Chains A and B, each alone.
Chain A
């Protein structure tokens, strides 16, 4: 079954707006001349739900374009690679985390091949990053992370 663009976006808006409304119920609303923290969120969330519903109606009754085929593989690989970088940078240190991210993300490409030239390039790039960001720009990231310290580095 094909889901149309409008159906997906409309449902998304309705869902986010509904969460916004539910959460904002607990904030004091206030009055127009002394707005509480809940005033704006309630109005905006309601409008978002209404807009979402309108888009859903358009999907139902109008001509809606279907979402073009999604290639899940690169999507999953690249997001995971960046996510892992975040999770591991303090544990492994910057150079290793960069190497993992570069090689990991690269596998998402249809042109990816494991050859020694590209691997050497990735390794060199990690070293350059470590020198440029940590030594020159002073970004407070460890060069060798806590896991490496634990095993005696």
Chain B
């Protein structure tokens, strides 16, 4: 099937009434979540995931995807108006965005963010349509050795790119792999780490862990800092960028989109890195680097374009290889698997309407978001002012009901409380939970592929180095690890990730 036929099929899927409605619901919810500080996409998607089990698989995926890229739009609103990142990926947007708001240019900053995001979303979607079939074709030739190496790369990237020390991140990834082994071993049927309870025979449910660590954990952390949460919202003036703004925006949007598209595909990198890199790059190429941090529109347009481009293209490894690059994508895989769809290179040929429907719906969703965010920004500004002490009890309710309804199990709710406390502990000791969550999904896959590889090669581990794809992937992973030792990169990483705190 060529791209044109694919897009036509996608158009008919995405414009089916129920898909259209759920796409809208998804981006609406996504914007709301993005706007509200203290509620992230991972927590929201894991909370809502159980309620999508009753929907057809394409509708469910379209809605969940909408929530995810919707948060990228919403996050910038809070960043600009309140100087608080609604989402981690809009941290850099606060630097110049809020500065512009203080100078009475909030509307123009919002417009720059939305227009940049929209352009980047469009390019990102097109990129998926072109690149995903190619990569899927290539992936069909991959054996277990290649998959194992790709998983290693994903884990290494996620470790290198989290704030805090590499050693801590390594420990978190190992812990994730260990937790992933709880349950029945698929090869031997042995029950591992179940401590005699039948509740653990199916393993730790990924949604339960993610909801606990990210959802409940965030609530517990936020309650601790409750007093320091302040709310002063900058007023929004004219939403129309001036001719001068347009002139200064074009370059950053183009470069930001480029960076975002590329970094989104890299497993483990995700949207956060994209927005930081785009900001750093603009500062470098600008003829007025001194204006950055004092309200330069470039500093809003570039990172916002980059994070939205990456939010689209990070679907590529998930859809074509079945490997999640980020925690959000791991949740999407969870959603698909529950519905009986195994993401991987076959998805394009076996579920063409799912793939193309998603791609087209992403573009439609981006159009909706442009309208939701620009003319209706006043409504979102009101939402920011909902105080947290009304919000968090409701978040608790949604989490508890959501987790319960996965298996109608009280045990899961109690497990979530345990992981919520763990999530709180991790934040208190400065350990980022992202590698753990990713490893929880990737760990069992890694074990399975390693087993298969060594079974095929009769225990000979050199196959990882004789296959060119596998060797190349491992070299990239090794370079990433080495780069962290290099002082120059180390400084960039520390600077970039510190701002994310």
Contact = CB atoms under 8 A, between A and B. Distances in A.
Q: Is the interface of B mostly helix, strand, loop or mixed?
A: helix
B5 interface: no
A94 B220 CA distance: 23
Contact of A139 (B220, B394, B397, B401): B401
A1 interface: no
A74 B223 contact: yes
A125 B178 CA distance: 39
Given A33-B458, A41-B192, A108 B223 contact: yes
B215 to A, nearest CB: 10
B178 A44 contact: yes
B393 A40 contact: no
Contact of B421 (A8, A48, A79, A102): A79
A40 B396 contact: no
B174 A44 contact: yes
Contacts of A129: 397, 401
Interface in A1-49: 5-6, 8-9, 12-13, 16-17, 20, 23-24, 27-28, 31-37, 40-41, 44-45, 47-48
Interface stretch (B74-82, B276-284, B292-300, B409-417): B409-417
Contacts of A13: 171, 174-175
Nearest to A94: B401
Contacts of B443: 44
B227 interface: yes
B173 to A, nearest CB: 9
Given A9-B429, A87-B410, A51 B167 contact: yes
A122 B393 CA distance: 9
B171 A55 contact: yes
A86 B413 contact: yes
Contacts of A34: 455
B118 to A, nearest CB: 32
Interface stretch (B12-20, B180-188, B347-355): B180-188
Given A35-B454, A37-B192, A82 B410 contact: no
A110 B226 contact: yes
A114 interface: no
B224 interface: yes
Nearest to B189: A37
B210 to A, nearest CB: 15
Interface in B147-183: 165, 167-168, 170-171, 174-175, 177-178, 181
B171 A52 contact: yes
A28 B188 CA distance: 10
Given A23-B193, A27-B192, A98-B397, A48 B178 contact: yes
B498 interface: no
Interface string B404-432: 11001010011011001100111011110
B454 A33 contact: yes
A135 interface: no
Interface in B449-480: 450-451, 454-455, 457-461
Which bracket fits the contact residues of B?
Answer: 35 or more
B397 A111 contact: no
Contacts of B175: 13, 16, 48
B470 to A, nearest CB: 17
B481 to A, nearest CB: 15
B193 A101 contact: no
Contacts, number: 190
B396 A101 contact: yes
Interface string A117-146: 000011001000100010001111100000
B219 interface: yes
A67 B424 CA distance: 12
B399 interface: yes
B230 interface: no
Contacts of A81: 396
B389 interface: yes
B306 interface: no
Contacts of B185: 37
A133 B404 CA distance: 12
Contacts of A94: 401
A41 B167 contact: no
A45 B193 CA distance: 12
B401 A9 contact: no
A89 interface: yes
Given A41-B178, A102-B394, A105-B392, A20 B193 contact: yes
29 contacts: A8-B429, A9-B171, A12-B429, A13-B175, A32-B459, A33-B457, A33-B460, A34-B455, A35-B454, A37-B187, A37-B190, A37-B192, A40-B447, A48-B178, A51-B170, A54-B167, A67-B428, A67-B429, A71-B224, A74-B223, A75-B421, A82-B420, A85-B413, A87-B410, A101-B400, A102-B397, A103-B393, A129-B397, A129-B401
Interface of A: 5-6, 8-9, 12-13, 16-17, 20, 23-24, 27-28, 31-37, 40-41, 44-45, 47-48, 51-52, 54-55, 58, 65, 67-68, 70-71, 74-75, 78-79, 81-83, 85-87, 89-90, 94, 98, 101-103, 105-106, 108-112, 121-122, 125, 129, 133, 137-141
Given A101-B400, A102-B393, A109-B226, 17 more contacts: A20-B193, A31-B459, A32-B461, A33-B454, A33-B458, A33-B460, A34-B455, A37-B192, A40-B177, A40-B181, A74-B224, A82-B399, A89-B410, A109-B389, A109-B392, A122-B393, A140-B408
